[in-house]
Amino acid sequence: MSELIDSGELEKSEKKEMDKAYNPQAAEKKWYDFWEKQNYFTPQIKEGSAPFTIIMPPPNVTGALHIGHALTVAVEDALIRWHRMCGEVTLYLPGSDHAGISGETVVEKLLLETEGKTKNDLGREEFLNRVWDWMHKYRDVIDDQLRALGASCDWTRKCFTMDAGPQKAVRKVFKTLFDEGLIYRAERIVNWCPGSLTVISDLEVDMEEEDGFLWHIRYPVQGEEGRFVTVATTRPETMLGDTAVAVNPNDARYKDLVGKMLLLPLMHREIPIVADEGVESDFGTGAVKVTPGHDPLDFEIGQRHHLPIINIMNPNASINQNGGAYAGLDRFVARKQVVKDLEAAGLLIKTEPYRHSVPYSQRAGVPIEPLVKEQWWVKIGPLAQPALEAAQDGRLKFVPERFKKTYTDWLENIHDWPVSRQLFWGHRIPVYFCNNCNKASATAEETLAKCDHCGSTDIWQDPDVLDTWFSSGLWPFSTLGWPDQTADSAYFYPGSVMETGYDIIFFWVARMVMFGMHFMGDVPFHTVYLHGLVRDEKGEKMSKSKGNVVDPLETINEFGSDALRFTLLTSSTPGNDSKMSRTKLLDSRNFANKIWNATRFITLSGTSELNYQAPKLETDAPLADRWIVSEYFMLVGEVNRLLEAYQLGEAGRLIYDFLWGEFCDWYIEAAKLRLNSADAAEKRRVQATLTGVLEGALRLLHPFMPFVTEELWHNLPHEGESLIVAPWPQPDESQIDRAALAQFEALRQVIRGIRNAKTEAKVENKKVAAIVLAKPQLKELFEREAETLVRLAGVEAQKLTITDTLPTPPAQALALVTDAATVYLPLSGLLDLEVERTRLAKEIEEAQREIEKSEKMLANPNFAERAPAAVVGKEREKLATAQERLAKLAQRLKDLN
RNA sequence: GGGCGGUUAGCUCAGUUGGUAGAGCGCUUCGCUUACACCGAAGAUGUCAGAGGUUCGAGUCCUCUACCGCCCACCA
C-alpha cells in the first residue's frame, strides 16, 4: 500500500512528470528539511535495545569546512543511515570545537587588521567577547555546510566545547585528576612558541629539515694557556646561556680536562667541563656546550650535574638582559652577531654547512624555543595503561588494524602532558593560588571562594587556559551531559564508532580513550575508523596558501551533494590518502543522473498506481526476472558483508555496478519488450520487478547518496513515508536462483557474440539473420528467449532459427562459438571468407592456449591431490568447455576449406 | 635511527579468508534504437616495482632490494 504523505511538496514530486535530468539543488533542500521536520535525526531512547552512536569529531570554529570534513561526514553519515535503516536507535551528535590557539590567532589577526589592536590592548574580557562574536558567526556557517552535506545529525543535541556542560566536565576532570595527584605543577624545559607566546606540547611541534650551519667554536681552557676545547653548535646564540661543556666520560681526548674550567667566550664566564654519558664521542668534536635553559638534552645534563640554569630569552625570543651585550636583539640577529664576534676573536674555527631538523610551532609557523617554565602537567602513565590494555584485549578495535600498532607504540612511550597554555581563549584552569599560604586549590565549580588549605579569601585564579585537546578528550561523554547523571550518558555511552583522520590518533583518539577509561570506566567507542587525507588531483596536500583547496559547498553546487559523497566514499579506502578530481565527481554526478533516468523511464511506463511489491523470486517468471532478482539478492549479501567490514567504498562500487551494468544495461533493455506487451498481466509483472528491484537498490544506495535516492523513491511504489527510515534489505539465499544466473549468462554470451560479430563485419546497424545451434538441453531456453535475442542482439525476427541439429552449416556465414551455442550469421556477399578463416584461426589458437594451460595444471599430480575438489572440478570443466569449443571451431574452419 | 604505507591498463585507483587481474576516465570504431549524449554498442592496452622463498597454485603469505610518501625519535 502506498501511504499518502501529509506534505504538499511530496505529493507534487510523486505526481509531476520527472525532468529529463536530475537537478540536485531543489531535491537536496527539500529532503533535508523534510527529514529534519519529521525528527528522523532525533533518536528516542529505547531501553533494552543497543543504540548505534557516532559523536561527530567537532570541526574547529575557525573557518569553513574543508573537504576532509566532507569525507568525515560522508563516512559517518553513511554508517548512521545504514544503521538507522536497520532499525537501530541511532544518534549522530554534531558539535564544534573552540580551537584554542588557532581560534585565538584568527581573532587576533582580524583585530590587528581591522582595528590595529592587540589582544592585550583590549584586555582579557573584551578580547573574549570578540572571540565569541566570531564563534557565533562561524558556527552557523558550519551548520549550514553539514546540512548541505546531508549529515543526518541530531541538532537538538548539538554541542560546543565551550558550552556550559563541557565547561563543567572540564573542571570536574581537572579537579579529580588534581586530587588524585595526576595533575601537578612543575618547572621543566618546555616548547615555547615565540609566535603565539605560549607553551605547546611535543605533538604541536613539527620537525622540518633545513640547511643550516654547524659552527665550531673554541672555548679556552682556564689555566692552560693556548689550550682550547672546541664545541660544535647549530644555535651559537645559545652560548650566552652556557653553564658547562660536556664530554663523554670515556673519551680519551678530554679525560684529563674533566673537572677543569673553561672561559666562556663573549660572556667571560667560567664554566666547568663535565663528563656525561649522553654525549656521543663520534659526533662533531665530541664536546658539547651545555645550555640547560634552552635545550632539552642540556637541561637533563644540567639536572644531573646540578648546573645553573640561565634564561637568556624574552617571550618573543629576543635576548634578555642575561645575554649581556646582545640584550634586545632578536634571536636570529643575535646569532649572526655572536658568530661575527667569535670570528673577530679568532675563536670561530669552522663554519660547516649542515642539514638538520629544526622544531617549528605547528600553529604559528616559527621555530620554537625550548625554555624552562613552570606549567601544569598531566601524569599520563596511570591513564595510559588502561587505554593500552583496551586496545590489546580488543575492547578497542582499529580500522584499518595497522593503526593499533601506531596507537600502542605511542602509549608505551608516552611522556607527561603539559596542559597549560598562556592564552585567553579556552577553558580557564580551575586553580586558585593563595597569597596567604602560597598553595594551589583546584575546584570543579565555576569559582572558588577561599583557599582549600588555609581558608584565606586572598586568592587569585591561574591566568592560563587548558590545551584545547584537554576538552576534546572528554568529548565522548561531555557531549552527553556528564558529569551529571543523564539518561543520554547512561544510554549512549560508550559510542559505537569514532571516525576521524589518522593524523590525530595521538592528539585526540588516545586521549579520549584515556579519559574515557578513567572517568567512565569503559572505552569511549568500540571501533576507531581512520580515514586518510584527501589530496588534490596532483596528490598534493590541500592548503589555503597553495590555493588548491576544494570547497565542499562549491563542489555541491556544481555536482550535487550526492556526487560529492559518492566520490569521497568510493575513491578512498580506510587509512589511505585519496585524490579528489573533477572526473570522479563528474562520474558520480552522471551516476545520479543515470538512476534518475532509469526511474524516469520506468515511471513513464505507468507505474504510479502500482502497489509496492518487494523483489521476489517467482519460479514461473521469465528468465530475466529471475535473473535480476537473483543478482539483486547477491548484491544485498555482498553489500551487507562489506559494510560490516567497513568497506564502504567497495560496497558503493558494487551498487554502482549493479544499477548501471546489470539493471540498466541488461534488465531494463530486456524488460522493454514486455513493457510493450498487450498482455496487461505480463506488463504488470515486469513493472513490479522493475520497481521492486530498483526500490531495493535505492535503499542500498541511500547511505551513499541520500538525496537522489529519497527523491526517486517517492516516484516509485513504496511503503512508509520516507526512504531514510525504510527497512534495510536483508540477505536471503533462497532468493538466488543459480540456474537463472547461469542461463542468463549463456544468453548474454550469445548476444554479445552476435553484437561483436556484427561490428567486426561492419553490419552493426543492420538487422541480421542468425542460426543458433544450441546445445540440446539449452534449445528450449533460446526458443523461449528468442524475442530477447532479437531485440538485444539486433537479429531480424523472421530470420532467426533456433535448433539443436544442423547437418549442413551454411557456408557463407560468420560462425561464433560460445559455451552454450554456435551461432551462424549468414552474411552473404558481406563475408570475406579469407578474413573469416583468419578470425577462426585466431580463436582456435586462443582455445588451444587455454587447453594447454588447463592440461598442464591437471597433469600435475600434486594439483589433483592437494587442491580442493571444487577447484579441480572447476578446472576439469574449464578444460572440457575449451576442448569442445576448439572442436567446433576446427570443424568450422574445415568446413570453410 | 626506528616504524608504517604505496609501487597493478596512458591517468586515477579497486582487488580482506591465496585459485590465475577489474572499474572510471582517456583512446579507437560505430550509433540521436520511443530513460539517459551527464547516453548506448563494440574494441585495444597489464612480465600486478625487482629478486628470492613457502605452496599443487602468489597481485594476494614470508625475506631481501629499489624508488616515493608519511609517522615517531633529546645527535649538539
pLDDT of A182: 96
DSSP-derived pairing of the beta strands A183-193 and A369-378: antiparallel
**Closest nucleotide relative to residue A559's CA, C1' based:** B38
Instruction: Please check whether residue A109 is in contact with residue A124, taking contact to mean a CB–CB distance below 8 angstroms.
Output: no
- A812's CB contacts (< 8 A; 6+ apart) are A826, A827, A828, A829, A831, A833
The spacing between the Cα labelled CA in A573 and the C1' in B8, in angstroms, equals 16
Closest CA to the C1' of B14: that residue is A650
More confident residue, A812 or A221: A221
| Cβ of A506 less than 7 A from strand B | yes
Q: Backbone dihedral region of A268: left (phi > 0), alpha (psi from -120 to 50 degrees) or beta?
A: left
Q: How far is the CA of A559 from the C1' of B59 (A)?
A: 35
Query: Which residue is nearest to the C1' sugar atom of B20, using CA?
Result: A853
> Is the bond leading into A483 cis (omega within 30 degrees of zero)?
yes
C-alpha cell at A294: 634552552
Question: What would the mean pLDDT of A399-413 be, rounded to a whole number?
Answer: 92
- Alpha carbon A524 to its chain centroid, in Å, reads 19
Amino acid A577 CA to nucleotide B49 C1' distance, rounded Å: 20
Mean pLDDT of chain A: 91
SS3 A397: strand
Degrees, nearest 5: CA angle A389-A391-A397: 155
Is strand B within 7 Å of residue A409 (CB)?
yes
Closest CA to A359 of A370, A348, A350, A344: A370
CA of A336 to C1' of B8 (A): 53
- A578 CA → B22 C1’, Å: 19
Report the nearest residue to nucleotide B18, CA vs C1'.
A867
CA A576 to C1' B6, in angstroms, rounded, equals 9
Q: Which of residues 216-245 of A touch strand B (CB under 7 A)?
A: 231-235
Long-range contacts made by residues A75-78, C-beta under 8 angstroms, separation at least 24? A75/A499, A75/A529, A75/A531, A75/A568, A75/A569, A75/A648, A76/A151, A76/A497, A76/A499, A77/A149, A77/A150, A77/A151, A77/A152, A77/A153, A77/A565, A77/A703, A77/A706, A78/A565, A78/A569, A78/A648, A78/A703, A78/A704
Please name the nucleotide lying closest to A20, CA to C1'.
Answer: B36
* A62 CA – B72 C1', rounded, Å: 29
Q: Is strand B in 7 Å reach of the CB of A665? A: yes
Give backbone dihedrals phi and psi of A354, rounded to 5 degrees, phi first: -150, 125
Single-letter residue type at A124: R
What is the interface pTM, i.e. ipTM, of the complex? 0.96
Give the per-residue pLDDT at A15: 52
Distance A86 CA to B69 C1' (A): 40
Backbone angles phi, psi at A528, to 5 degrees: -110, 115
Rounded, the Å distance between the CA of A867 and C1' of B53 is 21
Measured CA to CA in angstroms, residue A302 lies from A23, A199, A246, A284, A373 at distances of 70, 21, 10, 20, 15
Nearest-angstrom CA–CA distance, A65 and A141 = 9
pLDDT tens profile A626-666: 999 999 999 999 999 999 999 999 999 999 999 999 999 99
pLDDT for A125-152, tens place per residue? 999 999 999 888 888 889 999 999 999 9
- Give the residue whose CA sits closest to B3 at C1': A406
CA of A512 to C1' of B48 (A): 41
Closest residue by Cα to residue A616 from A713, A693, A703: A693
List the A603 CA – B32 C1' distance (angstroms).
Answer: 22
CA pair distance A298, A287, nearest whole angstrom: 12
CA A577 to C1' B15 (Å) is: 17
Determine the average pLDDT of the residues in A718-736.
95
Is it the case that residue A834 has pLDDT exceeding 90? no
pLDDT in tens, A849-865: 888 888 888 888 888 88
pLDDT of the residue at A492: 96
Beta strands in A758-812 (DSSP E): 768-774, 795-803
Cβ atoms A239, A291 nearer than 8 A: yes
> C-alpha grid cell for residue A352?
660547516
Among chain A residues 256-315, those with CB within 7 Å of any atom of strand B: 278-281, 283-284, 286, 288-289, 295-297, 300
CB within 7 A of strand B (chain A, 71-130): none
What is the CA A570 to C1' B57 distance in angstroms? Answer: 32
Strands A459-461 and A431-434, bridge-based pairing? antiparallel
Question: What pLDDT sits at residue A33?
Answer: 96
Give the pLDDT confidence of A179-210 residue by residue, as tens digits.
999 999 999 999 999 999 999 999 999 988 88
The pLDDT of residue A16 is 66
List pLDDT tens digits, range A300-311: 999 999 999 999
> Using CA atoms, how far apart are residues A829 and A893, in angstroms rounded to an integer?
19
A662 CA – B34 C1', rounded, Å: 22
Q: What counts of helices (H) and strands (E) characterise chain A?
A: 29, 29
Contacts of A396 by beta carbon, 8 Å cutoff, 6+ apart: A387, A390, A513, A523, A525, A526, A527, A528
Residue numbers 583-602 of A with CB closer than 7 A to any atom of strand B? 583-584, 586-587, 589-590, 592-594, 597-598, 600-601
Closest of A644, A520, A646, A575 to residue A405, by C-alpha: A575
Of all nucleotides, the one whose C1′ comes closest to residue A288's CA is B76
Nucleic strand B under 7 Å from the C-beta of A797: no
Identify nearest nucleotide to residue A276 by CA to C1′ distance: B76
Residue pair A476/A521 in contact (Cβ under 8 Å)? The answer is no
What is the rounded CA–CA span in Å between residue A797 and residue A767?
9
Going by their DSSP bridges, the two strands A578-579 and A534-535 should be labelled as parallel
pLDDT in tens, A562-603: 999 999 999 888 999 888 888 999 999 999 999 999 999 999
Q: Which of A48-52, A360-364, A376-380, A473-477 has the lowest mean pLDDT?
A: A360-364
| CB crowding A366-401: b at 16 or more within 10 Å, else e | ebbbbbbbebbbbbbeebbebbbebbeeeebbbbee
**Which positions in strand B are less than 7 Å from the protein's CB atoms?**
3-6, 12-16, 19-20, 23-25, 29-31, 35-43, 55-57, 71-76
Considering only CA atoms, name the residue closest to the C1' of nucleotide B36.
A597
Distance, angstroms, CA A526 to C1' B19? 36
As a rounded value in angstroms, the CA-to-C1' distance for A403 and B74 is 26
d(CA A390, CA A317): 43
Q: pLDDT tens across A663-722, in order? A: 999 999 999 989 988 888 999 999 999 999 999 999 999 999 999 999 999 999 999 999
pTM: 0.93
- Closest nucleotide (C1' vs CA) to A764 is B30
CA of A593 to C1' of B37 (A): 12
**Dist CA A89 CA A557 (whole Å):** 32
Q: How much of chain A is helix, strand and coil, in % rounded to 5?
A: 50, 20, 35
H/E/C letters for each residue in A541-584?
ECCCCCCCCCCHHHHHHHHCHHHHHHHHHHCCCCCCCEECCHHH
Per-residue pLDDT, A137:
83
Q: Which nucleotide is nearest to A414 (CA to C1')?
A: B72
Whether the predicted pLDDT of A1 surpasses 50: no
A203 touches strand B (CB under 7 A): yes
For chain A residues 341-370, those near strand B by a CB cutoff of 7 A are 356-357
A591: which nucleotide lies closest, measuring CA to C1'?
A: B38
pLDDT mean over A99-110 = 89
Q: Which nucleotide is nearest to A602 (CA to C1')?
A: B35
A755 touches strand B (CB under 7 A): yes
A629 is written with which cell numbers? 532478482
A443-487 tens-digit pLDDT = 999 999 999 999 999 999 999 999 999 999 999 999 999 999 999
Helix or strand (DSSP H, E) at A718: none
In chain A, the N- to C-terminal Cα span, in Å, equals 65
Distance A574 CA to B2 C1' (A): 25
**Cα(A363)–Cα(A408) distance, integer angstroms:** 26
